[in-house]
Amino acid sequence: MSLTQLKSALLAADFKPHCLTVGADVPGLSRLASPSSLHVFAKAWRHGNHATIEEAFSGDPWPTPAREAYASLPEEQRMEVLGLTGFHIHESVHKIDFLTTPFGAAFHGRCCLETLGFQECAPQIITWLEGPGEHPPMRELLSNTEADRVQDGLDGLSARIRWFDANRGAPPRFVEEGWGGDRSPVTLLNLELRKVTVHNLITTLELPEQTGTYLRPLTILESRAVALSLLHLFDRLGADDYACSEIARYVRIFYPHPSTSNDYTFLLDLFAHLGDAPDFPSLIDRQGPAVLKGILQNIVMLGWYALHAPPLMPTEVDSYANSSSVVRLLIAFKSLETAFSTQTVYPTAADFLDNVDDSDIALHADLVPCSDILAYCIQYLETVKARNRAQNTHPSLALHFDYIFEIQLAQLRRRLERGYASSLGMPNGGHLVGGFEDFDVDQHLLLETYEAPCDVQQWFALRENLLFTHARPQNFAVQVRSFIDSRPRARRALTGERRSDNTEPVLSEGFTAFETGDYKTAEPLLAQAAESGSALGAYCLGVVLRDRDERLLAEQAFARAADGGIAEGAYNLGVLLRERKDLDGAKEAFSRADSLGDPDGSNDLGLLLLQQGDLVRAVPALCRADARGHPEAPTTVGAFHAAGHAFLLARQAFERADARGSAKGSHNLAIACTAAGDIQAANVAARRAKQRGFRETDRHTSQDDITALAEQHDETPDLDSADFELAQETFAATVNHLEDRFPEFSAHDVIQPLCMGLFAGANVLISVRSASFEYATHLAEAATQCFADSVTFTLTPAIAVSRRAVGLAPREANFLILKDITRFRDDTLADLTPVLGDAPNEQRRFHIHGRFVALPNLTAVVAIKDLDHDDDAGKLAELAPLFWIGILVSL
């Protein structure tokens, strides 16, 4: 591998602020570095190839052996080390900035209100998209209404789209010279820059060298991320002259002129300009560490002030400047210039920023004090959060925004008393997460803690095209509709939207009879309409024939409706074909319904493919069904997440299913909540499952059991709590034993969810690389031993080669451990279905050569999957949905 490849991968791995997701397999990036580069990390971290959070973010110099190993490398490999380290810090800064600042509140709040605007204006937008001609990006259609304070309707939507476009980088035709006619230049650190206004909304400055670019929030975000990552690397390398020259080299390699966007280098080079150097690397080569540190800290601080731009505040004065991150940056720059010229020194960065608030220029521009801004942002987010909960008709998007607002509110509330002082925003000693105070709250700022559900990611890609690009891929309107239009689909199919003119009277009469259930009158009229080419007539005729059990004739009618583009026709055809075991025909029909945007079609296609072991196509189809609002699809998707390692995603998927009224979704959510120790939420979900008619079996996840657990353990069956003494003792001893034997793993982090999952009767799949397989086995065994008097039976592939051997499982077994499950024989895997499935306990048994081995006391099954053993044949496809918790042991 080479630095070039690593550079390319890092370039492609940008942070998606709407989804809070990094567009790359972050751990996988290290595979692109050479072994000798990774050797430096092995010397820097206690556990070799795995850094703790503290180790990853600390600003302390790397240990001497690591720095010596670094210095001995050739330049390319040294830059690999810095690239991997800098990338992680850079993207982490983005996430922190979007979740802890007033700018982040404005960004996500506006985005949520924009989504509600799309849903409110769905009929107009869909009519336009489905209409003839080309459909330019929506930013091209925006009115110039002074809609800054418009809350709803197309004007409000238009104002928000303009805001996002200006943030993102609007094309030159939306950029006008001057600020409301004032074309005098602005001088920033002795550099003259032209005033421009974007979308008649954002006043800013044109950036030099790259035509059409302007100072925008992105410039501030990137400058802060670059500055903080450079500071971090500088400190790691020892903060000396050598570190300084390495930083200069790093900037030249990763941020080369002129191909790098100005957003990354403009502020760095602006300071270089003040020091009469052509660019930042040249300046620090010449002037050394003190200047490097001073400039980077100033950029971090100025950017922090700029990011305190809140949403427009309802003050009596015009708060426009206050809510502009660019204007705030310029004002902070002016104060810095004053401090330079008067040689004023402030004790802390926060003191300087408070002083900016009190400056004449800030008062003249009606800037609001930091505490007022933070208080307003909290009020604003609470309002938007309530609107999101009440009005957002798309469950996944509603949950996604809710998740973001909860984090932002927790962060902003904590900052209320402290104003600008924040170790997260302006870290002490380069330690980016040194400001973590409450891990439960702050862990959401780490890159790894959240990945938006696939349908949320799909929406933000669609939105990108809808608003900003001219591309209109196939089914674009259908896909947009599935996110913003909440009208029942079935009703749409039966409206007169697709009636052809020549059949109108006949169809209309037939349709009216059909709707009132007068099939006798309806049938001949519908048949006549269908013969004349009416797809709707054919569809209704198909329903009449199917209800009369004329199945073959119904199939023909539905096929004709499908040919006419009626998704429900294709879906119903698929159902009939599936019922008569024509699975290829059914698959084709569901696929057609899927391509017409039908959620039922996507879901049933996914299930059929799953049944046939075609996971590669099944999962995307189920994700599409989920994205299109299918009530049951997220349950299956969640099971995949759980089986595949991602417990948080699984819970989110179950939450979507629950929100869509799925009884099984509620039931699974109850399991997931129990596993996470959130018994109150589990109780609520279990109650909903019961109300929705979920047929309770004898599993240990029933509402009654969960309620009993809650009562027995004071609402929180937490293994750390005093109410669970026996388990706690065992648990503590187990953790100690595991951590002594396997110091490279943090058993504490894994074993608690594992125990809680088992406690709730949830089947667990542990996925692990071969090298860590022994650890995973011990982990599974230790977890089952945390329960008093438990009986655990372990089944290995060697035993399972002879199917008779499973008969060795003792009748009293509570837990079954399946080691290296992908190496089990196909028929043994088939035998596992009744053990893993939903059957009552007395029916949970292996079926072997006509003989049953009953396991009436079985609580849960733990399977260990070796990721280095391929499962190309999809052997686990049928079993995967039966696991409810997935744990990835990642070393």
Partner 1 sequence: MAVPTPEELDRAGAEAERLADAIGHSSLPLDPVYHRLDAVIVEMAQAGVSAADLLPATTESGVGFSLRQTRDGKTLWQVVATTSRASICDPQGEVRQRLAKGTQAGASSLVAAILTTLGLPLVAVPIAVTIAAVLLGIGIEAFCQWSALPANEPDAA
Q: Where along the sequence are the contacts to partner 1 (CB under 8 A)? A: 2, 4-5, 7-19, 23, 32, 86-87, 90-91, 94, 133-137, 168, 171, 173, 210, 218, 221-222, 225, 254-256, 258-261, 263-264, 457, 460-461, 463-465, 468-474, 476
Task: Provide, rounded to whole angstroms, the least separation between the CB of residue 449 and partner 1.
Answer: 18
CA distances from 597 to 183, 271, 620, 624 (A): 51, 53, 13, 9
Task: Provide, rounded to whole angstroms, the least separation between the CB of residue 161 and partner 1.
Answer: 14
Strands 845-848 and 851-854, by their bridges, are antiparallel
Nearer to partner 1, 187 or 469 (CB): 469
Identity of residue 55: E
Q: Which of 709, 644, 633 is nearest to 671 (CA)?
A: 709
Strands 202-205 and 21-22, by their bridges, are unpaired
Nearer to partner 1, 481 or 690 (CB): 481
713 DSSP 8-state letter: T
Tokens of 873: 């044949």
Residue corresponding to tokens 């608003």: 467
How far apart CA 375 and CA 355 sit, in angstroms, is 19
Nearer to partner 1, 9 or 885 (CB): 9
Nearer to partner 1, 133 or 488 (CB): 133
Task: Provide, rounded to whole angstroms, the least separation between the CB of residue 782 and partner 1.
Answer: 40
Task: Provide, rounded to whole angstroms, the least separation between the CB of residue 589 and partner 1.
Answer: 16
How far apart CA 698 and CA 66 sit, in angstroms, is 56
501 DSSP 8-state letter: G
| Dihedral, 90, 96, 97, 100 alpha carbons, nearest 10 | -170
Strands 186-188 and 851-854, by their bridges, are unpaired
Nearer to partner 1, 254 or 590 (CB): 254
Nearer to partner 1, 258 or 347 (CB): 258
What contacts 801, CB < 8 A, 6 or more positions away? 825
Task: Provide, rounded to whole angstroms, the least separation between the CB of residue 441 and partner 1.
Answer: 23
Nearer to partner 1, 468 or 724 (CB): 468
Q: Which of 76, 82, 79, 77 is nearest to 62 (CA)?
A: 82
Tokens of 689: 């499952």
Task: Provide, rounded to whole angstroms, the least separation between the CB of residue 856 and partner 1.
Answer: 48
Task: Provide, rounded to whole angstroms, the least separation between the CB of residue 789 and partner 1.
Answer: 51
How far apart CA 361 and CA 373 sit, in angstroms, is 18
How far apart CA 286 and CA 301 sit, in angstroms, is 24
Nearer to partner 1, 142 or 861 (CB): 142
Q: Which of 14, 13, 19 is nearest to 457 (CA)?
A: 19
Task: Provide, rounded to whole angstroms, the least separation between the CB of residue 584 and partner 1.
Answer: 15
Task: Provide, rounded to whole angstroms, the least separation between the CB of residue 52 and partner 1.
Answer: 23
Q: What number of residues does the chain have?
A: 891
Task: Provide, rounded to whole angstroms, the least separation between the CB of residue 11 and partner 1.
Answer: 6
Task: Provide, rounded to whole angstroms, the least separation between the CB of residue 585 and partner 1.
Answer: 18
Nearer to partner 1, 10 or 506 (CB): 10
CA distances from 138 to 127, 465, 505 (A): 14, 9, 38
Residue 511 sits at φ, ψ, to 5 deg, of -65, -40
Residue 766 sits at φ, ψ, to 5 deg, of -100, 120
Nearer to partner 1, 256 or 524 (CB): 256
Strands 21-22 and 195-198, by their bridges, are unpaired
Task: Provide, rounded to whole angstroms, the least separation between the CB of residue 14 and partner 1.
Answer: 3
| CB atoms inside a 10 Å sphere around CB 802 | 11
CA distances from 134 to 140, 335, 430, 471 (A): 12, 49, 51, 10
Nearer to partner 1, 50 or 472 (CB): 472
450 DSSP 8-state letter: -
Nearer to partner 1, 446 or 710 (CB): 446
Local structure of 175: helix, strand or coil: strand
How far apart CA 871 and CA 617 sit, in angstroms, is 15
Task: Provide, rounded to whole angstroms, the least separation between the CB of residue 640 and partner 1.
Answer: 21
Task: Provide, rounded to whole angstroms, the least separation between the CB of residue 461 and partner 1.
Answer: 5
Nearer to partner 1, 134 or 440 (CB): 134
Q: Which of 666, 656, 655 is nearest to 689 (CA)?
A: 666
Nearer to partner 1, 85 or 674 (CB): 85
How far apart CA 602 and CA 165 sit, in angstroms, is 33
